[in-house]
Structure 1
């Protein structure tokens, strides 16, 4: 038998649910997200209002509005000086083998475009990568700027920190910026020895559980190192034992760049550092005249939720895929495409382009893994090929298109990277580098298992169910 208390509690819950729906639903609609994400949030709020409210508070809000204003103010304040400095020191690239419309787009997306005269070294193994980074730290003369999403307080993290301490003790300016969520397990005292010898450490978009700054979206997922304004590193590796291959089999991708493109990475670091600390580093000492180190044409594009106008990385990839005539090879740990990107891959496969995906057979994010697999059937039916790599966890993020176009960096093939995170990718317009990465991709495919429609038809019902459920969540992942 129900009591007055039960009746009162039930009425209160109904009123609360209606209030949540009435207040939150217009907010979701007015955000003008991608339609699938809007629908997913709307359904969650309507059918499970309290849980939907908590989820939206943590993952879905655009409290970045004021941060966006700050970010755009940062970019507006720094842009004129950065452009002047870069125009004085960069040599415009003459791209060969790249469609004219892609060349035009490359210039539109950062107003300066690719530059010639770069030397690019590709690294696959974590041990080799961190040795190269440590060596570069030890050879630094004026400054070291480091930005990473994850910096673990383990043996590899201490090794990199101690190399920076040695540099600071020599009088080198050292600045480290880590994401406050990605590096949440690395406490502030970990960097204290570096700060005690003059190094500076900042945290990007600090999260405060006692305030409205609890949002864990809009993270800085970039991996950037700039040394003396002329040597840079970027790619998919964070700093930690996992990425060094010391904790488990792990396959990643990183690049060392010498030459003018290092200024592109410096520009992104300066904007992020100013955003986090208020210190303006746009000075000629950090943008020295580059020595032309090689013959590679390249460009570093950064994108994020505060971008004005275009999502640079997504826009470039989408355009290049639409113009591909030979191949689109994608290596990524997390594949959850939106509808336009999915259509670009399907259309390319249907018109005879060699479309291949190289993905991990096991993932450290099961939800994303199953959501990604829910797209496989449609791709396979269009003629794309999918390979699952078993020997190690693939964490590399790379796309190879035709014979001259490759990109690598921090950007996963999912909506979180394309729309929510601050990301950075190196775009390389160079046949020898493209050939090197293609051969590497083929070697990995030979060690992987190719997925076929027959294999998919034999998939157990429980696996199908997991994919179907997570497919609904795909716009939110």
Structure 2
């Protein structure tokens, strides 16, 4: 696979590689403008993100983006990166949940220890961790507070950030490392993987040894499928800028609850942010990947975000634009896929393109399986999948994943590829909450390098298959299908769709027959969610809309069905 972890340089030279045979001109604005958002299409005039690159180019060229599949691979890379940082270097991170004793590798690699040692060496460590709702509600207020306290005592500044819309969260998962003496060595990590329990799994899916129970069906060490990307090149500057916008928000970090505010005053946690060091120049070009950074911020009132006064929904708008261009294959992995409004965009694409196929990989069960929490989790997905299937019929396939022991794997990944051209990996799920209400972050990538394997232009629009998107799709498919042969039967969208279905149906039949004989290859089975009766749907639907999948758009946009 192009751009594997072993190939990612520790300190890029800054020299752009020679143009590969069959490559398009670097940063072909015609192609990129057809897939990426323009500054106007982003719809957020309050951010400087697009203006950093001059007029007419709200993306960066010459990057190297490396997919890190599963937490073990990501944590290994992150540990090596942090351990190399020294006095005066800059380390920035955001997190939804952080557990200070979560190991990145073996003993001594606990998150609190690794980041704390960096701060003690003189690394400028700054963190934005969601303050979170209470543990009583199955959230993360205590572990996030303990992590912030531990790092503060080590000399870092980590704030508990609850500057969100009511009922919302900060869901971005980002780490940026900028060595002070070598701007070219800057690196960033973004995607779906938090620095917390359950995440350090690998392709075998035995689970993280530091497992935290979720729904009982996943066991004590839930198998966990997730994706992060390692980014080098000019896009690191865009990711750093995203952190700086949030850090520099002058809004108060205090809680309105006077008792809780007093509690935080006597704890070693910062309630304000000190100025960051001046930003370095962006790292120079190092690869063939064009990158657009996409975000979600809600419309927050009293006060609004200074960098997104009416919010930002560039993730939603990117999907809206890309799906209009889809012709042959959309492959997506998602934790939820449960909003009707989101599903309607996929349904429109399926109706528009009669040869378009859609594969969706989701978890078999929600994280919470109680009698009160389960139905609201199911009601949104039930309707969303009905919408997609009604539009695409046999061209829509939905699967969930299990390991070789038959234990379901929790799919936490948020990744999509479209026609082997455009790919996105981020923190965002396919639901209204992620597209409008919580803070989210995604890395959209289009490779300049054309893939020479047939079909060379699956979409038929002259865009050509791109190495990054195709290799990402094939790497994920090889894992899910236990595919150890040549990729020929997976390259063509329709043939690959059929291969996926065969493997899933064979495994489902083996289970149905009592698991007699050898287990067939593959780890995916057709997804068959529990059906909600009329009574359960009647009380679950209002909870789903109000609490599980709220809408952070201005009222006029909701009414008009706009993102």
TM-score by length of 1: 0.71
After TM superposition, give the deviation of residue 164 of structure 1 in Å: 1.4
Which residue of structure 2 lines up, in the alignment, with residue 177 of structure 1?
128
State which of 255, 260, 279 in structure 1 corresponds to 2:234.
260
TM-aligned CA distance change 1:322 to 1:187, over 3 Å: closer
State which of 140, 143, 149 in structure 1 corresponds to 2:85.
140
TM-aligned CA distance change 1:100 to 1:467, over 3 Å: same
After TM superposition, give the deviation of residue 97 of structure 1 in Å: 8.3
State which of 296, 321, 326 in structure 2 corresponds to 1:303.
296
**Partner secondary structure for residue 111 of structure 2:** helix
- 2:75–2:200 CA contact under 8 A, matched in 1: yes
Which residue of structure 1 lines up, in the alignment, with residue 494 of structure 2?
none
**Partner secondary structure for residue 155 of structure 1:** coil
- 1:98–1:405 CA contact under 8 A, matched in 2: no
Distance (Å, rounded) in 2 between the aligned partners of 1:294 and 1:265: 17
TM-aligned CA distance change 1:203 to 1:438, over 3 Å: same
After TM superposition, list the pairs within 5 Å mapping 1:42-441 onto structure 2.
94-95=27-28, 98=31, 100-103=33-36, 105=38, 108-109=41-42, 110-111=49-50, 112=53, 113-141=58-86, 142-156=89-103, 159-181=110-132, 183-186=140-143, 188-205=145-162, 217-228=167-178, 230-245=186-201, 246=208, 247=211, 248-275=222-249, 277-281=272-276, 283=278, 286-306=279-299, 307-308=308-309, 310-339=312-341, 341-350=342-351, 351-352=353-354, 353-365=356-368, 366=374, 367-383=376-392, 384-390=396-402, 391-430=408-447, 431-441=466-476
After TM superposition, give the deviation of residue 150 of structure 1 in Å: 0.7
- 1:152–1:185 CA contact under 8 A, matched in 2: no
- 2:328–2:419 CA contact under 8 A, matched in 1: yes
After TM superposition, give the deviation of residue 464 of structure 1 in Å: 6.8
Distance (Å, rounded) in 1 between the aligned partners of 2:144 and 2:199: 19
Deviation per CA, 1:11-34, whole angstroms, max 9, x where unpaired? xxxxxxxxxxxxxxxxxxxxxxxx
Q: Which runs of 5+ in 1 are unaligned?
A: 1-91, 208-214
TM-score by length of 2: 0.61
- 2:129–2:144 CA contact under 8 A, matched in 1: no
State which of 449, 470, 476 in structure 1 corresponds to 2:525.
449
Distance (Å, rounded) in 2 between the aligned partners of 1:148 and 1:378: 33
**Partner secondary structure for residue 103 of structure 2:** helix
After TM superposition, give the deviation of residue 134 of structure 1 in Å: 0.9
- 2:294–2:441 CA contact under 8 A, matched in 1: yes
**Partner secondary structure for residue 155 of structure 2:** coil
After TM superposition, give the deviation of residue 414 of structure 1 in Å: 0.8
Deviation per CA, 1:419-453, whole angstroms, max 9, x where unpaired? 110111011112222012211343325521125xx
- 1:331–1:397 CA contact under 8 A, matched in 2: yes
After TM superposition, give the deviation of residue 385 of structure 1 in Å: 1.7
**Partner secondary structure for residue 426 of structure 1:** strand
Distance (Å, rounded) in 2 between the aligned partners of 1:389 and 1:469: 29
In angstroms, what is the RMSD of aligned CA positions?
A: 2.8
Distance (Å, rounded) in 2 between the aligned partners of 1:344 and 1:206: 30
Distance (Å, rounded) in 1 between the aligned partners of 2:171 and 2:246: 12
Distance (Å, rounded) in 2 between the aligned partners of 1:320 and 1:282: 37
**Larger deviation, residues 409-418 vs 160-169:** 160-169
Aligned residues: 371
TM-aligned CA distance change 1:217 to 1:301, over 3 Å: same
After TM superposition, give the deviation of residue 117 of structure 1 in Å: 1.6
Distance (Å, rounded) in 2 between the aligned partners of 1:242 and 1:463: 32
Which residue of structure 2 lines up, in the alignment, with residue 475 of structure 1?
545
Distance (Å, rounded) in 1 between the aligned partners of 2:469 and 2:240: 24
After TM superposition, give the deviation of residue 418 of structure 1 in Å: 1.1
TM-aligned CA distance change 1:223 to 1:155, over 3 Å: closer
After TM superposition, give the deviation of residue 467 of structure 1 in Å: 5.2
After TM superposition, give the deviation of residue 396 of structure 1 in Å: 0.3
After TM superposition, give the deviation of residue 294 of structure 1 in Å: 1.6
Deviation per CA, 1:309-358, whole angstroms, max 9, x where unpaired? 6511111111111221222222101112243x322211222332112211
After TM superposition, give the deviation of residue 96 of structure 1 in Å: 7.4
After TM superposition, give the deviation of residue 102 of structure 1 in Å: 3.1
Deviation per CA, 1:350-371, whole angstroms, max 9, x where unpaired? 3321122111111204332342
- 2:37–2:318 CA contact under 8 A, matched in 1: no
After TM superposition, give the deviation of residue 106 of structure 1 in Å: 6.0
**Larger deviation, residues 464-473 vs 287-296:** 464-473
After TM superposition, give the deviation of residue 469 of structure 1 in Å: 5.1
Distance (Å, rounded) in 2 between the aligned partners of 1:256 and 1:385: 30
